[in-house]
Amino acid sequence: MIGYSFMGAAHSQAWRTVNRVYDLPARVRMAKICGRDAAKVAEAADRLGWDAHTTDWRALVNSDDIDVVDICTPGDSHAEIALAALAAGKHVICEKPLANTVDEARAMTAAAATAAAAGVRSMCGFNYRRVPAVALMRQLVAEGRLGTIRHVRATYLQDWIVDPQFPLVWRLEKDKAGSGALGDIGAHIIDLTQYVTGQRITGVSAVTETFVKERPLPGASSGLAAEVDGDATATGTVTVDDAAIFVARLDDGALATYEATRFATGRKNALRVEINGSLGSVVFDLERLNELEFYDATRPTAEQGFARILVTEAEHPYMAAWWPPGHIIGYEHSFTHEMRDFVEAVATGVDPTPSFADALQVQLVLDAVTRSAECGSQWTDVEPALAALAV
Ligand SMILES: NC(=O)c1ccc[n+]([C@@H]2O[C@H](COP(=O)([O-])OP(=O)(O)OC[C@H]3O[C@@H](n4cnc5c(N)ncnc54)[C@H](O)[C@@H]3O)[C@@H](O)[C@H]2O)c1
């Protein structure tokens, strides 16, 4: 694993747990963790449960005793590390968004395709696909229970930088993060809605805004709870969007709206998706992640209404291995499910999803949103990832 902060901790928790919950064809050994600071990575290895640690990711991806490389760093290092790991024949799991640019994502997808021909697997970490209620939502759509999809309404709202004194952390710098709210949280709802509906976004019209353009420089910590440097007068320029809002068309005719912002005061990590079809609707709200609302318009009129499904039954996706019905799970379990699917795919020799090509498709949407916003919200087509690969 490379990177040991937020996602490093979440993934470590999942790697530690996955074989204890699921009966899998392979056992995970948490071999080595990498970071740039020797003392901090040593402490992280001990706390998170890794056998060894290093500050040299190149040596790590070329180690003979490593089979899988898990990339939990900011987007500016995803491409370099993933390309090196795939070239060394390691299976790769890479956090989202896949890269900072379409060109990088395209190169990673091409390398993943070449590696797959030699049995080397790769996957992007869109973990919300693995929330059981989201997987159930997809199942209902795929079974035709919603009929023809007409509307997708997706919002991902946070408020951690509302304070203009919040420091200029890496997530607010384009060269490190690629984009702002758009790529960080917008990427999740783009992937989730394309996954659930099975439809691709074909075009967008967008607005983006950076409300606070200068911020104090950060101190040592640069995560979501960062502090300002001792010299509070030093400031830097925010080079990413604080908020991105766009309308979109899906390839089977649905209209969609997306909102991703870090300025929704009071909203901490509020991801909500509603889908309306000719035969019914579904609603998912991350703050109630064990539940799915389902409106079945085929029921007798007198009985129609939104039903709250508690997604904790053994027949629900991922749930059989957890607790008895009604005993709920949380955010971290989505990562355990992600590792379960990844380990199973690697051990049984199939390509896991979301693939790098799926993640390239998300990257193409991010790029189209940015270009549309730069051109006064001009309608901007999103090319299909496969055509992009052929370029
Ligand atoms: N799936 C999710 O829900 C989710 C949530 C948060 C973040 N992410 C993604 O995970 C990735 C990491 O985000 P985070 O929140 O964990 O960030 P973070 O700032 O908490 O941690 C980043 C880690 O990477 C290390 N690092 C940075 N550059 C490095 C380099 N060149 N070489 C080695 N180590 C390096 C840092 O020291 C730190 O340990 C990003 O791509 C982000 O978009 C995904």
pLDDT digits (tens, 9 = 90+) for 86-114: 999 999 999 999 999 999 999 999 999 99
| CA 41 to ligand 1: nearest atom | 39
Mean pLDDT over 212-237 rounds to 79
Mean pLDDT over 41-53 rounds to 98
Q: Residue 367 and residue 183: Cα distance in Å, rounded?
A: 9
Rounded to 5 degrees, φ, ψ at 243 are: -150, 145
Q: What is the predicted pLDDT for the residue at 386?
A: 78
- Work out the end-to-end distance of the chain between its first and last CA atoms, rounded to an integer number of angstroms: 32
**Pair of tokens at residue 102:** 């379409």
pLDDT digits (tens, 9 = 90+) for 353-369: 999 999 999 999 999 99
Ligand 1 pocket mutation pick from 95, 221, 338 by most atoms within 8 angstroms of CB: 95
| CA 335 to ligand 1: nearest atom | 1
pLDDT over 90 (residue 351): yes
Ligand 1 pocket mutation pick from 2, 58, 72 by most atoms within 8 angstroms of CB: 72
Mean pLDDT over 159-177 rounds to 98
| 384 Cα: distance to centroid of ligand 1 (angstroms) | 28
Q: Whose CA is nearest to atom 40 of ligand 1?
A: 74
pLDDT digits (tens, 9 = 90+) for 299-310: 999 999 999 999
| 55 Cα: distance to centroid of ligand 1 (angstroms) | 15
Ligand 1 pocket mutation pick from 2, 7, 224 by most atoms within 8 angstroms of CB: 7
Mean pLDDT over 27-40 rounds to 98
DSSP 264-301: -TT-SSEEEEEEEESSEEEEEEGGGTTEEEEEETTS-G
Q: What is the predicted pLDDT for the residue at 347?
A: 97
| 6 Cα: distance to centroid of ligand 1 (angstroms) | 7
| 128 Cα: distance to centroid of ligand 1 (angstroms) | 17
Q: Are 159 and 268 in contact (CB under 8 A)?
A: yes
| 36 Cα: distance to centroid of ligand 1 (angstroms) | 12
Taking CB atoms and a 6 Å cutoff, what residues make up the pocket around ligand 1?
A: 2-8, 34-36, 57, 72-75, 77, 95-96, 125, 127, 184, 222-223
Mean pLDDT over 340-348 rounds to 98
Give the predicted TM-score (pTM) of the model: 0.97
